[in-house]
Amino acid sequence: MPASDPVIDTAPAIADQIKTTTCYMCACRCGVRVHLKDGQIRYIDGNPDHPVNGGGICGKGSAGIMKQDSPARLRKPLLRTGERGRGEFREIEWDEALGMLAERLDGIRQTDPRKLALFTGRDQSQALTGWWAQQFGTPNYAAHGGFCSVNMAAGGLYSIGGSFWEFGEIDWEHTRYLVMFGVAEDHDSNPLKIGLAKLKARGAKFVSVNPVQTGYSAIADEWLGIRPGTDGLLILALVHELLRSEQVDFDYLARYTNAAWLVIDDPGSADDGLFARDGDGNPLLYDGARGALVSAMEADTQPVLAGRRTLADGRGAVPRGAEALLDWLIGSSEWRQLPSKKAPVSTASASCRMSPSTWQVEESCTRRPRMVPITRPRITMSSATTSPVMEAFSPIVSDWLRISPSTVPSIWMSPVAVRLPCTTRSAEMM
């Protein structure tokens, strides 16, 4: 009898259970399926029903199995037995480790709880750990958000109504013009690739601004390869164009934002950069109809968005919109003190204005000292927590201060009252 062909199972079942969960190997938070056999992980693949990745998975995600099976994974607490740096440890039990920790923390709490500094990473129940630090008595607590993204998240909440974090909740279905600027694209690789494919399939335009022609820039309809450190200059050119073409909705700023609230301009004082307030604690603004300082809480006012005002105590104040943008640009008070006594140039605080209707600027406004002093910029809390473009400005502040005003003039612009560089030499940024 002829021998029968051997039966070979080419797809043996290696799992008896599948669990769906979220991948935590990066910030994309893709949906994954974990295949288990006898309660042990066998492999990980993408979840085709998940809206973020649609079944896709990267090498890092599939390697998530090593979080459990890696031979380098710590199984127990380690106690150092040798000098620091020699790498000599021994395993101890959890009860011993927790007992040592409790003893040390009790000693700190009995003497001065503020000596404890507690830092946690991402996804470590920050609400709970922060509450614990408060109960312990230390204000020295920080977590991932404070180091990485709280300024951008707060800026997004105050400006666009939502947190603009890793992938920014782009409307892939309806966006017609996408600008990718100041983005670490591979921080969100899978969802971004899927979204860009959808966007380009619809014929939408994709512009990438990046000194490096990454893979994302290579598929862009237009790549702007600006020089490293000139991000802020490009943004200022865009701001300048918005002002020049009168595309800024000043009526909205005056009616529905705090752009007209006055900020104290008194370098060196304890309240420099804070809102000017009346006796009842209400923020102040300048009412153009009455020609006087009034409470920002009053109705039927005509808020003025520009101009330096004198407070009751004789100190100066400028509208919050002007102060915030000034902080975004340079941060420090040295610029506000220019021109100095050694350089007798028009102060431009009152005379150097540009009219929204004519956009004419006095010739004296283009004359500045040859070099602006180099200082470490001062970022105020207000600009750090309400500016969605803070990260674009902060890396280039020192470079911008090095620009010679004789070649790139600065102008004192109204109604936002901020010095912006001209765009006549903008080609040099490329």
Quick: pLDDT tens for 27-56. Answer: 788 999 999 999 999 999 999 999 888 898
Report if residue 216 sits inside a domain.
Answer: yes
Report if residue 168 sits inside a domain.
Answer: yes
Residues 320 and 196 in one domain: no
How many residues comprise the chain?
430
pLDDT at 80: 95
**Local confidence band at 164 (pLDDT 50, 70, 90 cut-offs):** low
Residues 247 and 387 in one domain: yes
d(CA 365, CA 35): 69
Report if residue 123 sits inside a domain.
Answer: no
Report if residue 8 sits inside a domain.
Answer: no
Q: What is the pTM of this model?
A: 0.52
Residues 346 and 421 in one domain: yes
Residues 56 and 180 in one domain: no
Residues 204 and 242 in one domain: no
Domain CATH number, residue 34: 2.20.25.90
Q: Where a domain ends, among 174, 190, 224?
A: 224
Residues 343 and 247 in one domain: yes
3-state SS, one letter per residue, for 241-260: HHHHCCCCCHHHHHHHCCCC
Residues 247 and 327 in one domain: yes
Report if residue 95 sits inside a domain.
Answer: no
Tell whether the model's pLDDT for residue 17 goes beyond 70: yes
Residue pLDDT, tens place only, 169-191: 678 889 999 998 877 776 667 78
Neighbours of 107 (CB within 10 A): 10
Structural domains counted in the chain: 3
Residues 157 and 262 in one domain: no
d(CA 239, CA 241): 5
Residues 220 and 243 in one domain: no
Which of the two residues, 205 and 251, has the higher pLDDT score? 205
Residue range(s) defining the domain that contains residue 216: 150-224
pLDDT at 282: 95
d(CA 32, CA 110): 47
Residues 182 and 319 in one domain: no
Residues 178 and 322 in one domain: no
Residues 342 and 399 in one domain: yes
Closest CA to 394 of 318, 313, 329: 329
Q: Where a domain ends, among 54, 69, 84?
A: 69
Phi, psi for 96 (deg, rounded to 5): -65, -45
178-216 in b/e burial notation, b at 16+ Cβ within 10 A?
A: bebbebebeebbbbbbebbeebeeeebebebbbeeebeb
